[in-house]
Chain A
Amino acid sequence: MPPAVAAPPALDTILEVTDLRTHFFTDDGVLRAVDGISFTIKRGQTLALVGESGCGKSVTNYSLLRLIQGPGRIVGGKIVLHSARAGDIDIAALGEQDKRLYRVRGGLVSMIFQEPMAALSPVHTVGDQIREAILLHREVSAEEAHAIAVDMLKRVGVSGAERRFNQYPHELSGGMRQRVVIAMALVCRPELLIADEPTTALDVTIQAQILSLIKELQREIGCSVLLITHDLGVVAQMADEVAVMYLGRLVEQGPVREVLRHPLHPYTQGLLRSIPSLNVGRRLASIPGAVPSLLAIPAGCPFHPRCPQARPGLCDGGPPPLMRTIAKSRTVACVLAGENPPAPA
């Protein structure tokens, strides 16, 4: 799929994450929730970060905006935002009080959360909350901010925007609330939008409306999107690129069509064989066992105890396999990948 915006060159990247490590120092030991992940997001494109509960998707996301709280800490790596408006910023290196951090949060990069009720203040009207974001990040008067907020509410498809402006979140339905959250996230024209499970709490027809709205506004504003989800259906519909996470590491990355059609990593293959609708009339080939605790990450390849292709002596010891390039724009962290032709899902 071509980049949604015409102007920037195809290889232009908006975000470059290199060897990011976020660990949590608990009484039980060090939880390596994110342990050395690297990826880039191309300008105007959508990267989906997928994985099951506890794989580190959300910790990655919080790390990007420096929202990790104790006992967690970013212990290494770079998060470089190549902003068109503010130049290059290494978010990981910014001081806690750095003005640039405030400019990044909600200005250059903004976020949509899973649970819209938790992302909205129950004691402020939705209009005031959108206006606050505008006044924080844009040089406009209160009247102009009001007009911009109403206009944004209209653009996200909130009917009766003037009236809704003065309503509180509890007066809106779940779908409407998520539209308000999207309005708030996009009103400052961010260069990167992080959407963390944006439709998981919504019904399927409302999910379709919200996903199409995100796509439409992405095209209009020309922002890039990091989509965090566990739903491979949402990935297929929304993403250009997909990165699969397991136990704090990336295991596979590539263009969405190729990864879903010809997964290279046994974990990705297992996920696709677990999807009910892709396997109608067949017994689901689930992945055996459960995701291990982050306190007891297996040696060698972290996936080897659940991997049907694991080879003793090769996969069960030493450092975890690194991501390596197998084919054009396909990377995978499996020592066996490339030996056999990729198995169809």
Chain B
Amino acid sequence: MNEQPACSPPAAPPLLSVRGLSKHFPNSARGLWARPAGTTRAVTDVSFDLQPGETLGLVGESGSGKTTTVRCILRALAPTAGQVFFRKTDGGTVDLAALPEGALKPLRPQMQMIFQDPFSSLNPRMTVAQIVGEPLAIHGLAKGREREDRVDDILRKVGLKPELRTRYPHAFSGGQRQRIGIARALVMRPSFVVADEAVSALDVSVQAQVLNLLKDLQEEFHLTYLFVAHNLDVVRNFCDRVAVMYAGRIVELAPTAALFADPKHPYTQALLGAVPWPDPDVKMKFDLPGEVADPNRLPPGCAFHPRCPECFARCRAHRPELRPLGPAAVRAEGGSGRGVACHLYDLS
């Protein structure tokens, strides 16, 4: 476990500090087609800080552990190990990972989630007013006239006419539905919002509208976003810092501009190279062989080594830790704000 966060900008106390977060699922060995039991190591030893008001992008391919990570942070899943320190609106700090279920409920309004699929994440039998007002009802925060006012108010903020409050989700387009999902998250006045692939299902022009909306709301309500995405095109525009995950671990963490200008980890390099940028003169590179490591059967050493063009003996035997990057003097000052988990950057 990293006592020191590998790369946190020296700033105010973080809103969220994740330390050594792991989630391992035991594989069942029972049943007719029993397979040998083992463990799916979905997330292992993930640590990062989130400053108030910033947007951290969590990127990686399918199965890299992005969604499991955020589900553990919000305690939709119970983590196997690790701590999740969350600074409450009253200034106190709690470890979300250690709280019993009952103690979580009063904290839920402060941390909300926006989901990927604007079709399956809204109940088709509830009106917009019911969907957006339900969290207020569950937490007993407002009722009657006041609840209606708060619903109307947030609908206006996300760019929907309050007159539409009696409609059902099927009457709305994908972009409008995503706005309803955003209204439902923000009606609670959270300080921390997890957006799990929140714009992935949208067309590019609508995606731009929703990204603009999320930016405006962040400013207005001083929101802190953990933005899970596989689309690097969006992340490059939207996030302040980016954490790249591979096989359940963070392999690189850096400010967005620095990451895109000069990726350090061979996986990050391959990932950025594989993006089809919308410019015919920036050629996509096709040189990353193989497929994402199977979290059931992670290779020894660095999980990326079987695909890595720079792999050497040490990579096959020892797993690299996420370490701050830069010369010793810079690291002593709190780091360059970058961290990378790769033996190429070992200082011996």
Interface residues of A (CB under 8 A from B): 52-53, 173-175, 203-209, 211-212, 230-238, 256-257, 260, 270-280, 283-288, 290-291
Q: Which residues of B contact A257 (CB under 8 A)?
A: 280-281
B277 to A236, Cβ gap below 8 A? yes
B278 to A235, Cβ gap below 8 A? yes
- Which listed residue (A53, A212, A272, A280) contacts B286, Cβ 8 A? A212
What are 16 A-B pairs with beta-carbon distances under 8 A? A53-B203, A174-B62, A203-B61, A205-B61, A208-B286, A233-B278, A236-B276, A236-B279, A236-B282, A257-B281, A272-B278, A273-B208, A276-B234, A276-B238, A277-B277, A290-B206
Residue of B nearest to A174 (CB): B62
Encode B211-239 as 1/0 by CB contact (under 8 A) with A: 11001000000000000001011101110
Q: Which segment of B46-54, B143-151, B168-176, B315-323 sits at the interface?
A: B168-176
Encode B273-305 as 1/0 by CB contact (under 8 A) with A: 111111111111110100110000000000000
A208 to B284, Cβ gap below 8 A? yes
Judged by a CB distance under 8 angstroms, whether B110 is at the interface is no
Q: Which residues of B contact A231 (CB under 8 A)?
A: 276
Interface residues of B (CB under 8 A from A): 61-62, 173-176, 203-209, 211-212, 215, 230, 232-234, 236-238, 257, 270-271, 273-286, 288, 291-292
Residue of B nearest to A204 (CB): B274
Q: With A211-B284, A280-B236 in contact, is A260–B206 under 8 Å at CB?
A: no
CB distance from A244 to the nearest CB of B (A): 12
Residue of B nearest to A288 (CB): B209
How many angstroms between the C-alpha atoms of A266 and B228 in the bound complex? Answer: 32
Residue of B nearest to A255 (CB): B280
A230 to B205, Cβ gap below 8 A? no
Q: Which residues of A contact B174 (CB under 8 A)?
A: 53
How many angstroms between the C-alpha atoms of A106 and B279 in the bound complex? Answer: 33
Residue of B nearest to A51 (CB): B203
Q: Which residues of A contact B175 (CB under 8 A)?
A: 290
CB distance from B54 to the nearest CB of A (A): 16
Q: Which residues of B contact A273 (CB under 8 A)?
A: 208
How many angstroms between the C-alpha atoms of A206 and B64 in the bound complex? Answer: 14
Q: Which residues of B contact A230 (CB under 8 A)?
A: 203-204
B286 to A275, Cβ gap below 8 A? no
Residue of A nearest to B237 (CB): A276
B291 to A173, Cβ gap below 8 A? yes
Q: Which residues of A contact B271 (CB under 8 A)?
A: 204-205
A286 to B291, Cβ gap below 8 A? no
How many angstroms between the C-alpha atoms of A53 and B288 in the bound complex? Answer: 31
Known contacts A236-B278, A276-B207, A283-B212; can you find 7 more A-B pairs with CB under 8 A? A174-B62, A204-B232, A205-B288, A208-B284, A236-B277, A257-B281, A290-B206
How many angstroms between the C-alpha atoms of A52 and B207 in the bound complex? Answer: 11
CB distance from B289 to the nearest CB of A (A): 8
Residue of B nearest to A209 (CB): B286
Q: Which residues of B contact A279 (CB under 8 A)?
A: 237
Residue of A nearest to B211 (CB): A284
CB distance from B253 to the nearest CB of A (A): 19
Q: Which 3 A-B pairs have the closest CB atoms?
A: A276-B237, A286-B208, A233-B276
B233 to A275, Cβ gap below 8 A? yes
How many angstroms between the C-alpha atoms of A276 and B286 in the bound complex? Answer: 23
- Which listed residue (B211, B270, B284, B285) contacts A276, Cβ 8 A? B211
Q: Which residues of A contact B207 (CB under 8 A)?
A: 274, 276
Q: Which residues of A contact B234 (CB under 8 A)?
A: 276
CB distance from A211 to the nearest CB of B (A): 7
Q: Which residues of B contact A290 (CB under 8 A)?
A: 173, 175-176, 206
CB distance from B217 to the nearest CB of A (A): 14
Q: Which residues of A contact B211 (CB under 8 A)?
A: 276, 284
Q: With A204-B230, A230-B204, A236-B276 in contact, is A280–B62 under 8 Å at CB?
A: no
Q: With A204-B271, A277-B233, A283-B212 in contact, is A271–B62 under 8 Å at CB?
A: no
Q: Which residues of A contact B282 (CB under 8 A)?
A: 236
Q: With A275-B233, A279-B237 in contact, is A208–B285 under 8 Å at CB?
A: yes
Q: With A275-B233, A279-B237 in contact, is A234–B204 under 8 Å at CB?
A: no
A232 to B285, Cβ gap below 8 A? no
- Which listed residue (B204, B273, B277) contacts A274, Cβ 8 A? B204
- Which listed residue (A234, A270, A274, A286) contacts B276, Cβ 8 A? A234
How many angstroms between the C-alpha atoms of A209 and B205 in the bound complex? Answer: 27
Q: Which residues of B contact A280 (CB under 8 A)?
A: 236-237, 257
Q: Which residues of A contact B288 (CB under 8 A)?
A: 205, 208-209
B274 to A277, Cβ gap below 8 A? no
